[in-house]
Homo-oligomer: A and B are copies of this chain.
Amino acid sequence: MNVLLIGANGQIGKHVVDLLKDSEHTVRAMVRKQEQADALETKGVEAVLANLEGSVNEIAEAVNGCDAVIFTAGSGGSTGPDKTLLVDLDGAVKSMEAAEKSGVKRYVLVSALQSNNRENWNDKIRPYYVAKHYADKMLQASSLNYTIVRPGGLLNEAGNGKVSAAEKLDRGSIPREDVARTVVAALDEENTYNRAFDLISGETPVAEALKQV
């Protein structure tokens, strides 16, 4: 598949770039800044400039010609809840509208563990969960063939490719690298089509875990 990766300069996104480069897929990396695009192209990765705070049309141009979107972008912990609304919610939904507009059918979204369950939301980052919750809902209400991956606490350590994936999991954590492995493996795993699931570190190789989710 030709994959538009949104959030290619983020901590999960960088792993996704490397995995897609080494896969049968091709990647087009969407980034905000020319210097980010230059760095990617130096590595041999196609890059496109577009901003999630821009228009749907701007994002639709970036996605045009792709078969799938992977969304790993996030406003990050260093910005306020205004950016949470503008990027994590409205930015994500604009990219869904852009995908629909460009005729792209497949969309894989990185969300957050139990974003579907208000009772589990940590009060300290509750606004973030609200944004993820409604981005998920809008994707589920869209015409896209979606997979929503809801990872637990994100770790920087190297992954081992073994996870636990299920509709509802208790708190847990997972290396970003293993989240990246999961979203790439989900791209053409039919068992994950139009499904949402929690994801933490576990005992099962990613490909097998996705077949059982």
Residues of A with Cβ closer than 8 Å to B?
55-56, 80-82, 84-86, 89-90, 93-94, 118, 126-127, 130-131, 133-134, 137-138, 141
Which residue of B is nearest A97, CB measured? Answer: B118
A143 to B82, CA, bound (A): 30
Between-chain CB contacts (< 8 Å), 14 pairs: A56-B118, A80-B81, A80-B82, A81-B82, A81-B85, A82-B126, A85-B130, A86-B126, A89-B130, A90-B130, A90-B134, A93-B134, A137-B138, A141-B141
Hey, which chain B residues are within 8 Å of A126, CB to CB? 82, 85-86
Whether A86 lies near B134 (C-beta < 8 A) is: no
For residue A121, give the distance in angstroms from its CB to the closest CB of chain B.
Answer: 9
A81 to B87, CA, bound (A): 13
For residue A134, give the distance in angstroms from its CB to the closest CB of chain B.
Answer: 5
Hey, which chain B residues are within 8 Å of A82, CB to CB? 80-81, 126-127
For residue A73, give the distance in angstroms from its CB to the closest CB of chain B.
Answer: 16
For residue A117, give the distance in angstroms from its CB to the closest CB of chain B.
Answer: 12
A127 to B130, CA, bound (A): 13
For residue A120, give the distance in angstroms from its CB to the closest CB of chain B.
Answer: 13
Hey, which chain B residues are within 8 Å of A127, CB to CB? 81-82, 85-86
Contact residue among B80, B90, B94, B138 (Cβ-Cβ distance under 8 Å from A80)? B80
A186 to B34, CA, bound (A): 51
Whether B133 lies near A90 (C-beta < 8 A) is: yes
Which residue of B is nearest A135, CB measured? Answer: B134
Hey, which chain B residues are within 8 Å of A85, CB to CB? 81, 84-85, 126-127, 130-131
Hey, which chain B residues are within 8 Å of A89, CB to CB? 130, 134
Hey, which chain B residues are within 8 Å of A141, CB to CB? 137, 141
A86 to B118, CA, bound (A): 11
